[in-house]
Amino acid sequence: MDNNPYAQYSSIAFQLLASIGLCAYLGQKIDHYYATQTPVFTALMVIVGIAAGLYLVVKQVRRNNHDKK
């Protein structure tokens, strides 16, 4: 694994942003497909993206801490 902590933590930030962005995009597509009046699916998918991103962050931080020991 890379010894540069900046590279490790910047990759975590990109994972978080990518998961939220992808879920928001999917939510918009679902809202468009079902022609909803309010962006219900977008909001739900953003919440799912945040949860998935936080899961990935915790998993990566634990892996980084385990590798340091």
Q: For the residues of the chain, what is the DSSP string, one character each?
A: ----HHHHHHHHHHHHHHHHHHHHHHHHHHHHHHT-SS-HHHHHHHHHHHHHHHHHHHHHHHHHHHHH-
What average pLDDT does the segment 10-39 reach?
Answer: 94
**pLDDT of 1 strictly over 60:** no
**pLDDT of 3 strictly over 80:** no
Is 31 or 10 the better-scoring residue by pLDDT?
31
pLDDT digits (tens, 9 = 90+) for 44-66: 999 999 999 999 989 988 888 88
How does the average pLDDT of the chain come out, rounded? 89
